[in-house]
A = this chain, B = another copy of it.
């Protein structure tokens, strides 16, 4: 299995220039807006995207400098990295569904975002709810924690991207 190389198709501009300001999840930050600036050579690929209400943004968690296979959220016990949303993954790839507000030239205006300013974008996909199962879902150790997250407590919604 060889190394796989990707080149960013663009960069995300967000208000989050300090990592401690970054919301835990995109859905928890409806009021936060930003812009994806697409490289000119990829702009033709944006055709027809503007009529979608939401897009899936695949991005490089570029501030991550190490990997931890066992992750310990500040609000819970230790868990295997692949059962968490921790950024300290072997391949630090982030996926967020964000609201698409407007496309103007090579700029995609979005909200409900949780990325650091300057985040490299790897891919953009249309968000199609039908592709996501809704029945017979079990979320393991996150079960009670999701209920807590939905209460909107800020100590859960905000945490440093990088522990110091």
Q: Which residues of A contact B (CB under 8 A)?
A: 1, 3-9, 11, 25-27, 39, 42, 44-56, 58, 60, 62, 69-70, 78-85, 89-91, 93, 95, 97, 99, 112, 120, 122-134, 136-142, 146, 149-150
* Given A7-B91, A8-B4, A79-B47, A126:B139 Cβ within 8 A: yes
CB-CB under 8 A from A89, the residues of chain B are 123
CB-CB under 8 A from A53, the residues of chain B are 136-139
> Given the complex of chains A and B, what is the CA–CA distance between A43 and B47 in angstroms?
41
Q: How far is the CB of A57 from chain B (nearest CB, A)?
A: 10
Q: Which of B39, B78, B93, B130 has a CB less than 8 Å from the CB of A146? A: B130
